[in-house]
Amino acid sequence: MIHIENLTVQFGAVKPLDNLNVTLDARICGLIGPNGAGKTTLLNVLSGFITPVSGRIDVDGTDLLSLSPIQRVGLGLRRSFQTEQVVEDLSVYDNVLSLLDHVGVRGEEAAGQVSRALHFAGLAGIASQLGGELNLYQRRMLEIARALVGGPRIVLFDEPGAGMTENEGQTLRETLLAIPDEFGPQVLLIDHDVDLISATCEKTLVLDFGQYLTYGPTASVLADDIVRKAYLGME
Amino acid sequence: MSRAIIREDVIPMPNRYRTLLEIPVAMALVMLVVVSTANAYWISTFTSALALALAARGIGVLYGLLGLVSLCQFALIGIGGWMMLRLSHGTGLPFEINVLIAGVTAAGVGVVWGAPALRLKGLYLALVTLMLAGAYQVVISATGFPDGGAGFLGRADATQRLMLERPVIATSNSSYLVYCAIWATGGFMLAEWLRVTKMGRSWAMIRKDDNTARSVGVNLLTYKIIAFAFAGFLAGVGGALLAGGVGQLDGRAFAASESLFLFALSVVAGVYHWYGALIAGLLLRAVPSLLTDFEINGYVAIIFYGSALMHALITAPRGIAGQISNLIGKIRTIAIPGTGRQAL
């Protein structure tokens, strides 16, 4: 569970996040909002890449903001990026192993975890291929696999479905839905695909210009008039 | 797909260590050919090329694995050479110990000079390191290399200058070439071993993006420092071997422009493969020698270097070694179907 209190991020006169208060308690939480709403900024704050000017983030009793980005990885924080970040010169296997290198998992235990994640993501058959040889779908799935090793507690996905075909999107939905049961972490998902959000997220947080708009069960959030007007562009 | 069912079959780890065995075999073959065919002039040229190849491998680590442009590696060769000469003339330590101390000294300087990389990247880092190479040029031009004299600088007058003694097992030119080849093989293997282990994976993550690296737990500071130290160590060892080959070093040979040539030719030769460093060393030393053989001014090599760099950047970004690697991959695919390009 992620508890966010009075969180403000400020760059000069701009406030990408403005006094955000919310408790993200669903196993899979959606995060939506128009461009510039502060979605990725929130993920970057959670990852430790951006330091807020004020506020507190509590993850299962741990003060997240007191930890360095590396310590957060040790705590079990994982993430993917809007622009996929597969390393082209590393094999699929080593792309996943690169995370375990830094959380103290080695040898047979590491091999087991990498194998499990690659089987889960449907990449077991191409484990020895180079990252540079993968198509976009495989790269996205590889990022998911990398986020699922080393005992993940919170997984942040930033538009994992971007650029996928309908069939690939369907597989992605099934994959995301299975993550909490199979690997145990809470998932925070940003995506502009409302169908993906409604099919996978139990609850959804809506941001607008860095401010909290609403948070609740996804179906009711998406039916909310304010959300429909602010985000979906419907009157 | 595999949504609900997770198969626990453990996937075998990719075979990453094959190259480690290829290096000594390839180096032994190259040395066999060179020692049995080359004359004294070319033996000397190949010896210098091997020493420079070690420094080029360091550039391969920094640029090929981390994406960092360091333009002071030739100056680090000079630091290794200076330390080697100073220790050899001033102490009775064995040659090999002196080589290692020279490498460690250059590693230390490499870390200090690489410190800007913790904040800078790209052009700015390149400029800062080039200025450091320029600073070294000024200092070494003024002080010169130790040649058997007393005091910290170890400078003697013209009548007393001493040549560096080679190790007892490698006093002849041919045996010293083999001796250098053993050091170079060790350096290449160490670099390759680092590349395929946790270190190399972390460096690859840093090259991709700093935040990507942080997101998998890579400590940027630690891994960048290790890379600069290792590249400095290789350059220092190269400088020490160079000093042993020539017997003395000339401060005028360590201009900042040499660091530029070394970097440019490392890119031309290929920074992503171990033998790219060997090719870089050969380009830097063999091309001027070849031109001399044909009675062409050696400085024409600079035009060749510039043209080669332009060609590499436009048509072969992975360099000559990358093209050789692709060719080997194609031959393998034809000879043994199903074994094309594989992850190492």
Q: How far apart are CA B189 and CA B22, in angstroms?
A: 9
Beta strands at A186-190 and A28-32: parallel, antiparallel or unpaired: parallel
**Helices and strands (H, E) in chain B, number of each type:** 13, 0
Query: What is the per-residue pLDDT for A115?
Result: 95
Disruptive mutation site among B7, B196, B201 for chain A (greatest number of A CBs within 10 Å): B201
Residues of chain B in contact with residue A74, where contact means CB-CB under 8 angstroms, are 217
Q: With b meaning 16 or more CB within 10 Å and e meaning fewer, what string describes A78-113?
A: bbbbeebbbbebbbbbbbbbbbbbbbebeeeebbbb
d(CA B124, CA B111): 17
Both tokens of A210, joined, read 């860095």
What pLDDT was estimated at residue B343?
A: 45
Query: Rounded to an integer, what distance in angstroms lies between the CA atom of residue A132 and that of residue B208?
Result: 12
- DSSP 3-state of B320: helix
Block means of pLDDT (10 residues each) for chain B, 344 residues, are 55 81 94 93 93 96 93 95 92 93 96 82 89 93 83 75 87 95 97 95 95 95 94 97 91 90 93 94 87 80 84 86 88 74 46
Q: Which of A87, A88, A113 is nearest to A100 (CA)?
A: A113
Amino acid sitting at position B40: A
Which has the closest alpha carbon to B26: B247, B276, B289, B210?
Answer: B276
In single-letter form, the type of residue at position A65 comes to: L
Residues 6+ apart with CB under 8 A from B209: A85
What pLDDT is recorded for position B131?
A: 92
Tell me the whole-structure pTM to 2 decimals: 0.90
Strands A211-217 and A203-208 come out as antiparallel
Side chain identity at B253, as an amino acid letter? A
Predicted local confidence at residue B8, as pLDDT: 56
**What is the pLDDT, as a whole number, of residue B5?**
46
* Spatial separation of the C-alpha atoms in residues B87 and B91, rounded to whole Å: 5
* B123 Cα to chain A: minimum distance (Å): 23
**Is the CB of residue B198 less than 8 Å away from at least one CB of chain A?**
yes
Residues 6+ apart with CB under 8 A from B7: A119, A124
Enter the DSSP assignment of B166: P
Question: Residues of A with CB below 8 A from B343's CB?
Answer: 90-94, 128-130
pLDDT of residue A232: 66
Bridge partners (DSSP) listed for residue A3: A23, A58
Q: How high is the pLDDT of residue B64? A: 93
Axis crossing angle, helix B274-293 with helix B18-37, rounded to the nearest 10: 20
Supply the pLDDT for residue A233.
Answer: 67
CA-CA-CA-CA torsion for A108, A110, A113, A116, nearest 10 degrees? Answer: -60
Treating both helix axes as pointing N-terminal to C-terminal, what angle do B274-293 and B40-59 enclose, rounded to 10 degrees? 140
Residue labelled with tokens 């220790």: B87
A94·B211 Cβ contact <8 A: no
Q: CB contact, 8 Å: A97 with chain B?
A: yes
pLDDT, averaged per 10 consecutive residues of chain A (235 residues), comes to: 94 92 95 91 96 94 94 95 93 96 91 95 93 95 96 95 90 95 95 92 94 94 84 66
Q: Count contacts between A and B (CB, < 8 Å).
A: 117
ipTM reported for the complex surpasses 0.90: yes
Cβ-based burial of B233 (10 A; exposed 0-12, middle 13-18, buried ≥19): buried
d(CA B213, CA B210): 5
Report the C-alpha gap between B162 and B154 in whole angstroms: 11
Measured CA to CA, the distance from residue B212 to residue A47 in angstroms comes to: 11
Interface subset of A 98-137, CB within 8 angstroms of B: 98-99, 101-103, 108, 111-112, 114-116, 118-122, 124, 127-130, 133
Q: Are A130 and B343 in contact (CB under 8 A)?
A: yes
Confirm or reject contact between A146 and chain B (CB < 8 A): yes
- Find the length of chain B: 344
CB pair distance less than 8 Å for A124 and B216:
no
Strand order in the sheet with A211-217: A77-79, A154-158, A186-190, A28-32, A203-208, A211-217
List the beta bridge partners of residue A203.
Answer: A29, A217
**A39 and B CB contact within 8 Å:** no
Sheet containing A2-11: which strands, arranged edge to edge? A14-24, A2-11, A54-59, A62-63
Task: Please check whether residue A221 is in contact with residue A208, taking contact to mean a CB–CB distance below 8 angstroms.
Answer: no
- Report the C-alpha dihedral over residues B34, B35, B41, B42, rounded to 10 degrees: 10
